[in-house]
Each structure stands twice: as C-alpha cells, then as structure tokens.
Chains A and B, each alone.
Chain A
C-alpha cells in the first residue's frame, strides 16, 4: 500500500475542496476502497473520510419521491419500512449482496462506485486495461466465467458487480452530485459508462464530485417488484445473473414493466427492449420468455461464460413469473 494523507471532512465544502487535489479519494464504508488500496490498485495520496457529512438520512417527499443520503448504510436502506413495503426489489437486492457485516459498513454512494470483480483487475501482475490503460485485457481470452456478455468491448468485458444498482436501474433512480460549481442530477442510466475504448472510465462522475443522494421517483406499482439473484453459493457471492423487475398488471395484461439485469452486463443493465415487449403483453410465461429473449438479444459469449446467456433469460423469466403471480 502506498502511504497517504488522511483527513476527516466535517462538511461537503471541505470534502470537495480537499478532493480537488491530485490523487484524492473519498472513503465511505471503505469495504471496497481499502481492499483496492491494499492490493495497490487504488493508490490515492490523499484520502478523505466523508463519514462525518451527515448524508445518512432517508427522506420521503410529498410527491412520493424517496431521497436516500449517500452515506446511508446498505443495511439501513434494506430494512427501511417504506423500502420494504413500496420497493421490495431494492430491499431484496441489497440483502442479496455481500454479507451482513459488509452491508453494515457499505454505503449507497460507495456501492454505486464499487469496482469490478474481474480477477485480473485484482492482480497487478496481469495486463488489465481498466487498471492499467493500454496494457491489454487478460480476461478476453483468459479465465472469464464470471465476466460479462452484454455491453462488452474488445478492451474490457468486466461486469459491474453491484446488486443494489440493478434495482436502482429498474427503478429509474436519479443521482445527486455536488462539486465546487454546485449540485447536478444524473439519471441512473447516464451514470455508469460502457467500457468501449476506455474501460478505465466507469462513470460520468467528474474528478472531485461528491455523491450526496439518490432519489427514487414514485412508482405506484413498486410494491409488485422482485429481485432474483442466481449465484454459485447461497450467500456472500456476486451474481452469475440477476434480475430486478416491477410489473403493473391489470386484468391479466401488463401495463408497464421495469426490467434490469445484473451479473451479465458491463454496467447495471436496464433492458428497455424487454420492457417494450412486456408493455401491453398478456401476463403469462410466453410473454416473459419473449421479453427475456429481447433482453439478451445482443449478448456476446466468451469462452467460459456462454451459459450466462441462457441462465440470465431463465433468471428473468422466473423473476417475472414471481411478480406476475403476486396477488
């Protein structure tokens, strides 16, 4: 680990000012940052502890929007009564992630920015374009069972590992960020980037910008939602594939649908194609399957992960069937 300076910011202004220096990094729960620092992947020379910023509230506005502070712990969010009742998909996604200890430390802001679990990214003796731009992608023709099949490029095929983000993508969340020039809002789908030619850039967050909150706009049918995660063991493991779905159903027809997939994409994968198929469709298995085919239509398999395409479809079908069958 590289030696670094450490400060505890007392307010957003102090944090943002400190972040303007070169090589500065915020630290929230530290559950991802500290591991990456120990492995010489993140090498900040200035670490800014933002835990004193009081961004740990969950507010509910009169229009139904829920505002989640960036420092709200993953477990506090998962067990918030309104979230459990109105957006079970988000609560379930959070609780399917990591372990209880990690969720007690991990924050919403940190979760949005957690980095890939591609094994080569973690070993500095291997080429990796995301970690060392231009060095090559070891996973492309390497050990890639857990890598992505959607949104890949020949520079990087790493998945975005978050569960929470898949639910937030489905819910169309909005991210609030603050810099020395004020506050701006980023729609969820515009927050994470595809790897393209530059996998080292993962979000549209600018250097020194601080995430302060995430808004979930009201969705009337949010209670009819579900997160399903398929993985190699029952807990404490990232998704092979996952699906976040919400359905608005009337008289056996799906009026509106929200669909996002995890474990298979280079970013949290909202599938507008699947949503389009479902909109107006009969609420039955056949519609789910057609939607799943649409969601995965552009998928590209690599040597060890071709199974993910069929698995992701089945995951989505099961998640839709679960919500479709809710009373």
Chain B
C-alpha cells in the first residue's frame, strides 16, 4: 500500500512553526533559569595574559564569571563520528587553558540573572593578551600545505586510477584552470542555542543539534558522566546546514556553566559569534586539468584541492570526491591538501566537498566544451559514466540522461545561440548555462519504535531529528501508510535522545536511513496486531490465516469477506496497546566517508528485528555490488547588465533523479533551498576577513550577503521519481544537499555564455564583470 507517500502534503508542523508554538531549543524556561554569554578572544593567536573581571563581577545580576580558572575540567572526546558525537575541535576543549588559536575563541562565560545583565557585564571585562604572529592567509601559506591521510570518518581523499599526468601529456585537447571559492558561513536562522540543567548527577539539555544522539553521547563523554544520565532534546531546529552536525564550544560550556552556578543556564550564540564559534566552509583553491581526444572523449581528469584547516583539529573539504565518479575517464587523479590557519576549524556545510567541487569541475567541463566547440550537454553525454569507474561498480540507479533531456527542453537550450556574448536585449546580455548535479546516496543504521493505541492513534519514536527539512512530515506519511492509518492519527516523535537511536542529520541520509526503520517498526506493530486478532477468540478474525488478513483505514479484515474489526476494538480487549521495535542495520557506505551514524542499535531492537519480516527482507538485499548516487541537471537562463555588471537570473530548471519522491512539496522545497544556496555562492556570498589580522569582519546578515526574495528567478523543479531498487524497500535516496551541487557552475557558465568572460573566482560580483 502506498497512498500518502509521494503526495505533496503540507508540513505536519507547519502551523506550529508559523504561529510560534514550535519550541526551539532556546524556548524553554526551567525555574531559576540563568543566562550565559560567551566572551571571545580579540586576537587570533597567543595567550590570555590577564582577564580583569573585577568590575564585571560587581555588575548587577552577575552570578559568576566562568574562566579557565574556575571551570570544571573536561575529558577529551573519544569519537570523530557525528552520529556518535563529534566535538568540532578535538585539541581545544573550551576554558581548559590560556592558549588562543583563533579570533573569537571562547575565553570566558558571564552568567547572570538576565540576558541583558550578562551582556552588560560582558562589556565590562578587560582582556590582556600575549600576542603571537598568526598564520591566516591560505594563499600566502600554500607552501605549508600537507596531504591529509583521510577525510571525515576515515574516507579516502587521495584517489587515483590510471596515470592522469601521463595521459594529459598525450591528450589532443587540454584545459588547465584554477577555481577559487571563499569561506562561507552556514548562517542558519536559528543560532546555536543550549539550555542545561543538572539534577544531581543527571543532566537535562535542550540543544540545537543535527544529532541528538551524538550530542548526548559527546556531552556524557566530555563531562565524564554516564550516557544514561544525560537526556538531550531538540524538537525543532531552525536549520543546521552542517554547522550543528559537530558540537561547538557553546553546548558543553552551557553544561559547565550550569554546574558552576548550580542553576539551569541558557546560552545562545549571537549572530556575530556564529561567524567564529560555529564552523564554516573553508576557502578552496582548486586546480582542474582535463585532457580529451579530438572528439572530446575524456582521457584524464585531475582535481587538486587546497583548503584550510585549523591548528586544533583537521577537517578536509573533499571537493574532488565527486570528480572521481562523475565522468568516464580511464585516468583520474584526485588530491586534497590542507593548510593550518589561526582560524576556527572548518566543518561540513551543505554538500561538503560537492558544493565547491562541482563548481570547479563543472565550470571546467564548460570551458572544455567551448574549447572543443561542442555543446556542453553533448560533451557530458559523450563522457557519460555508465558505471562508477573508481569503484568499478554499477550504479544502483541512474537516470541522468533523462535529466539532461528534460532540463534542456524546459530551459529552451536549443533556441540559444551558442556563441558567447551573442544574445542581447537592450542593456542586457543573455546567457544560458548548465551543469551536472550529484550527491552520494547514504544510508546507515536506524532504530524506531512503533506503538498502536486503543484510541486508534499510533506513535513513532525515533532519536533522529527534523532540522527544518520536513522530516516529521515525510516520516508521518511513511508511518501512516505502514500503519494503514490517516495522517492525523499518526504522531511521529523525534528529537529526543531517550528514543531509540536514529541517524544524525548529515550526508542527506535521514530519509533513506530512518524511513525504512520507521516503516519496518510500524509494519511490525500491525503484524503483531494481526497475530493478536487471530489469537483472540472474541475477534471476528479469530483463527483466520495471517496472509488472508489485510489492514486498511485503521481496520483489520479478511480480504475476501470484508469481515473484521477496527484497531480500537481489538486493542481495547487486548491490553490497550501494541509496541514494535525495528532496527534496520544497513549501510550504503562500506567505510566511506560521511557524517553518519554507525550501528549501535539497542540489543532489544536488534533481537526483535530478527523476527521482523520487513527488516529481514531489507537487510537481505546485497548492496555491496552497487554504487549509490543521486544525480541531476541544472539549467540556468540569466541576464547580465552590459555596463553595470549586475546579474539577474531569469529562470532555473532543475531535474533531479533522487529515487522515490516522498513528498513533492518538501522535496521541491529542499531542492529550491539548495539552489538558493548555490545562487548565493555564485553571485554574492563569501565571508570577509581583515587582511592584517585574519579575523572575520562581515559579522552580520547585513554584511554577509545571502540571496533575498528579489534575487529569485522562476523555478522549474522536477523529479524523475523512479524508486531506487536497492537502497531500501521505499526506494528514496536523500535530497537535502544535491540541490546546491552543480548550480553554481551552471550560473557561472551562463555568465560566460552571456558575456564571454570567465570568472573563476567566486562570487561573480559586478566589479568582476565591468
């Protein structure tokens, strides 16, 4: 049965959100709540010599000023997997020493009766430093670059097949260009926010996180308490984009502050602090070399990325990863280098790697097409990867050719004059551009609990979270179909670490990972119900065969005769409820990289899953032979003002092959959101740093530009909507990140087509076009 899945239903939490009734992490008020404010280092490197808190301590309402002198000591975190808890800066636990590694590093926390009093006291603190000479420019320190051994979660980041250098030398046509992208800050609407309350040795936390399970485990780990003593809730999250995937100092500092004052403490980062204390996407310098024969068939691909990391942890932006599998080529050489800088540690940002990486490779492919005098779509078709050549595996499902075809039709690709700078309208030059989108399809283990109640409603409990993407809604659709109940009878509960462990919200994996677990749990509960009816002598289904009984509209009945009874009737005679646990222990990744959860499901759930036919069926599928990826085609039409250099995007067509669409409305919304990120990257976004001390200067949303409504083009977003036969019984791959891939290149390529000017340094602002 598949009735609700796929429908463009409104969000189940939409009304709560627009009326302000949805409680975000900062919106709880435990009794006796105190407020914390972080004091930041004003220098990028050195040592805190003296912190004069004498005036601040006497300011009205101040309870304590927490510094390295009086803060509790922390344990170094063990793991590096966001699903189990990843602290962002493994070598720099907050307020444990006087050393300073970057501007904005936390050096104290003021705790006061009110937020305003804490803020006031914060301005009265005077810091004195021993300054060291910082290292902050990626370009100027490129000679310090080193090659990291691996990326996040042990993933490979130095990848080779064949001999690309050699192949390049004999290639008939080559392209060799360098593409650069600036630093980006995630800037979710909801700032990082935490409330911590100790009750004896138990810790209750509300924390804006992409991983309630990870954040809980990490806090237990760092604070030295047992995991079962910590409960962490994150019911609604105002966006994460990767910045809430790792845990930043604010979360543990809140727990430390609450301990210090013996009261619950709330700590919310200011917008300014979001630019220093909550991660970023690193700057990248990407050199692409492509070699083809005279017909345009690729023989060599090289993609060498240099990016930043910090002195206190290592993060690799895997910009070249997609290049390894995007096109057919016997020779490929993908490398990543890092330079350590006195800045906070970078972290995943929506499509980490693929977002800047597909800009570089897809702009380079466009340059190659023009050099070959070939249609950019044709070039891609000529080099179409029928299989995943790096791993030498077939794709589980790939319909990219259809994406190109539909996209080209919808934008009017054939009507364009391919000559750059040839299409004009008044003061404007018109340009068309396209690019390929791609993102891996990740799935990892998840557990869910399903409960059917005698009043006819059902619940799902799962320790994953909805970071604003619509997870509550699609999981309700999946659960309702499986329970054979209408949407309004199903309550999906997420965002609580006391629930069975669900996947973290990273790597676009929640739909693919949690959906099957929820479905299996719900079907498991219905199956238990059927068994209950057969065994119950009071039931009209008594003694019937399991396979003759069907569930529909909250009722069990014999298919042939229609005789049966409602869940309510059955359950009210049989103890009032039925529960089922299911763990789907499936991974599409085989020790590849991604911010994703490992197994770790509860024993009880695993045991029960052994008798759950749905789980068994799902786990039986052999996934090792396949490569799991989503694809898409991005097409853009835009105008560039000839004299003023401003770019106006008229239309974006995005055709996505992401497996089964779970909800057309939330799906379009995710793709559109990704595209808008891409518009930002292409045209305006990028963090400004002071060239003399390397600290961020664009520290609010008036200085750090993201697209606004007036920048929006007409969107035409469509899906191939073919279920992936191998990823799960549902057939849905993830969708949160692919929208941002390819689009930046498609815009860049369209600007080139309009103007004949290739700008390889993002963003393409007016000054680069006049």
Measured CB to CB, the residues of A under 8 A from B are: 1-3, 38-40, 99, 117, 119-120, 122-123, 125-126, 138, 141-143, 145, 230, 232-238, 240, 303, 307-308, 310-311, 314-315, 317-318
Q: Are B705 and A232 in contact (CB under 8 A)?
A: yes
Q: Are A143 and B697 in contact (CB under 8 A)?
A: yes
Report if B648 contacts A (CB, 8 A): yes
Q: Which residues of chain A have C-beta atoms less than 8 A from B116's C-beta? A: 1, 3
Q: Are A1 and B766 in contact (CB under 8 A)?
A: no
Q: Are A2 and B120 in contact (CB under 8 A)?
A: yes
The winner among A143, A235, A315 for most chain B CB atoms within 10 A is A143
A308 and B766 CA atoms in complex are apart in Å by 10
- Min CB distance B766 to A, Å, is 6
- Min CB distance A45 to B, Å, is 12
A sample of 20 cross-chain residue pairs with beta-carbon separation below 8 angstroms, ordered by A number, consists of: A117-B703, A119-B698, A120-B697, A123-B699, A126-B697, A143-B697, A143-B698, A232-B705, A233-B708, A234-B648, A235-B710, A236-B708, A240-B767, A307-B766, A307-B767, A310-B770, A311-B767, A311-B770, A314-B644, A318-B643
A237 and B698 CA atoms in complex are apart in Å by 13
Within 8 Å by CB of A119, from B646, B688, B692, B710, lies: B688
A315 in contact with B690 given A119-B699, A125-B42 (CB within 8 Å): no
Chain B positions 688 through 723: 1 when the CB is less than 8 Å from some CB of chain A, otherwise 0? 111110010111101101011111000000000000
Q: Which residues of chain A have C-beta atoms less than 8 A from B691's C-beta? A: 141-143, 303
A119 and B703 CA atoms in complex are apart in Å by 7
Q: Which residues of chain A have C-beta atoms less than 8 A from B46's C-beta? A: none
A122 and B697 CA atoms in complex are apart in Å by 9
Report if B304 contacts A (CB, 8 A): no
Q: Are A230 and B644 in contact (CB under 8 A)?
A: yes
Within 8 Å by CB of B690, from A99, A143, A234, A240, lies: A143
- Min CB distance A302 to B, Å, is 12
Report if B123 contacts A (CB, 8 A): yes
Q: Which residues of chain B have C-beta atoms less than 8 A from A314's C-beta? A: 643-644, 770
Chain B positions 96 through 128: 1 when the CB is less than 8 Å from some CB of chain A, otherwise 0? 000000000000000000001001100100000
Report if B394 contacts A (CB, 8 A): no
Q: Which residues of chain B have C-beta atoms less than 8 A from A233's C-beta? A: 683-684, 705, 707-708, 710-711
Report if B645 contacts A (CB, 8 A): yes
Within 8 Å by CB of A142, from B697, B700, B707, lies: B697
A40 and B124 CA atoms in complex are apart in Å by 11
Report if B158 contacts A (CB, 8 A): no
Residue of A at shortest CB range from B645?
Answer: A311
Residue of B at shortest CB range from A306?
Answer: B767
Report if B765 contacts A (CB, 8 A): yes
- Min CB distance B649 to A, Å, is 10
Q: Are A237 and B705 in contact (CB under 8 A)?
A: yes
Q: Which residues of chain B have C-beta atoms less than 8 A from A142's C-beta? A: 690-692, 697
A234 in contact with B702 given A142-B692, A143-B689, A318-B644 (CB within 8 Å): no
Q: Are B690 and A311 in contact (CB under 8 A)?
A: no
- Min CB distance B656 to A, Å, is 26
A117 in contact with B702 given A234-B648, A311-B644 (CB within 8 Å): yes
A145 in contact with B684 given A120-B697, A240-B766, A307-B767 (CB within 8 Å): no
Q: Are B644 and A315 in contact (CB under 8 A)?
A: yes
- Min CB distance A158 to B, Å, is 13
Q: Which residues of chain A have C-beta atoms less than 8 A from B770's C-beta? A: 307, 310-311, 314
A2 and B120 CA atoms in complex are apart in Å by 6
Q: Which residues of chain B have C-beta atoms less than 8 A from A126's C-beta? A: 690, 697
9 further interface pairs, Cβ-Cβ under 8 Å (given A142-B697, A232-B766, A314-B644): A40-B123, A120-B690, A123-B272, A126-B690, A230-B644, A235-B711, A314-B643, A315-B644, A318-B644
A1 in contact with B711 given A233-B684, A314-B770 (CB within 8 Å): no
Within 8 Å by CB of A122, from B643, B683, B700, lies: B700
Residue of B at shortest CB range from A1?
Answer: B119
Q: Are A235 and B690 in contact (CB under 8 A)?
A: no
A145 in contact with B766 given A3-B120, A117-B703, A233-B711 (CB within 8 Å): no
Q: Are A234 and B708 in contact (CB under 8 A)?
A: yes
Residue of A at shortest CB range from B117?
Answer: A3
Residue of B at shortest CB range from A146?
Answer: B703
Residue of A at shortest CB range from B700?
Answer: A122
List B61-117 residues whose CB lies under 8 Å from chain A.
116
Residue of B at shortest CB range from A237?
Answer: B705
Within 8 Å by CB of A232, from B272, B699, B700, B765, lies: B765
- Min CB distance B467 to A, Å, is 25
Residue of B at shortest CB range from A39?
Answer: B272
Q: Are B688 and A143 in contact (CB under 8 A)?
A: yes
A234 in contact with B120 given A120-B697, A143-B688, A143-B690 (CB within 8 Å): no
Chain B positions 291 through 304: 1 when the CB is less than 8 Å from some CB of chain A, otherwise 0? 00000000000000
- Min CB distance A225 to B, Å, is 19
- Min CB distance B757 to A, Å, is 14
- Min CB distance B706 to A, Å, is 8
Interchain residue pairs A-B with the least CB separation, the first 7: A235-B710, A234-B710, A307-B767, A125-B42, A119-B697, A314-B643, A234-B711
Chain B positions 226 through 257: 1 when the CB is less than 8 Å from some CB of chain A, otherwise 0? 00000000000000000000000000000000
- Min CB distance A152 to B, Å, is 18
A303 and B575 CA atoms in complex are apart in Å by 77
A303 and B705 CA atoms in complex are apart in Å by 21
Q: Are A230 and B646 in contact (CB under 8 A)?
A: yes
A318 and B766 CA atoms in complex are apart in Å by 15
A116 and B390 CA atoms in complex are apart in Å by 53
- Min CB distance B392 to A, Å, is 45
- Min CB distance A180 to B, Å, is 32
Q: Which residues of chain B have C-beta atoms less than 8 A from A38's C-beta? A: 119
Residue of B at shortest CB range from A144?
Answer: B691
Q: Which residues of chain B have C-beta atoms less than 8 A from A125's C-beta? A: 42, 695
Within 8 Å by CB of B692, from A39, A141, A307, lies: A141
Residue of A at shortest CB range from B704?
Answer: A119
- Min CB distance B275 to A, Å, is 10
Within 8 Å by CB of B708, from A1, A138, A143, A235, lies: A235
A125 and B275 CA atoms in complex are apart in Å by 15
Q: Which residues of chain A have C-beta atoms less than 8 A from B119's C-beta? A: 1, 38
- Min CB distance A54 to B, Å, is 31
A177 and B683 CA atoms in complex are apart in Å by 43
A164 and B770 CA atoms in complex are apart in Å by 26
Q: Which residues of chain B have C-beta atoms less than 8 A from A2's C-beta? A: 120, 123
- Min CB distance A114 to B, Å, is 12
A143 and B707 CA atoms in complex are apart in Å by 22
Q: Which residues of chain B have C-beta atoms less than 8 A from A237's C-beta? A: 702, 705, 708
A39 and B700 CA atoms in complex are apart in Å by 11
Q: Are B689 and A311 in contact (CB under 8 A)?
A: no
A235 and B648 CA atoms in complex are apart in Å by 12
A123 in contact with B697 given A145-B688, A314-B644 (CB within 8 Å): yes
Q: Which residues of chain A have C-beta atoms less than 8 A from B708's C-beta? A: 99, 233-237
Q: Which residues of chain A have C-beta atoms less than 8 A from B765's C-beta? A: 232
- Min CB distance B14 to A, Å, is 22
Q: Which residues of chain B have C-beta atoms less than 8 A from A39's C-beta? A: 272
- Min CB distance B184 to A, Å, is 15
Q: Which residues of chain A have C-beta atoms less than 8 A from B711's C-beta? A: 233-235
Q: Which residues of chain A have C-beta atoms less than 8 A from B272's C-beta? A: 39, 123
Within 8 Å by CB of B766, from A3, A143, A230, lies: A230
A119 and B687 CA atoms in complex are apart in Å by 12
Residue of A at shortest CB range from B42?
Answer: A125
Residue of A at shortest CB range from B646?
Answer: A230
- Min CB distance B701 to A, Å, is 9
Q: Which residues of chain B have C-beta atoms less than 8 A from A120's C-beta? A: 690, 697
List B654-686 residues whose CB lies under 8 Å from chain A.
683-684
A124 and B60 CA atoms in complex are apart in Å by 23
- Min CB distance B223 to A, Å, is 31
Q: Which residues of chain A have C-beta atoms less than 8 A from B697's C-beta? A: 119-120, 123, 126, 142-143
Q: Are A122 and B699 in contact (CB under 8 A)?
A: yes
Q: Which residues of chain B have C-beta atoms less than 8 A from A40's C-beta? A: 123
Q: Which residues of chain B have C-beta atoms less than 8 A from A315's C-beta? A: 644
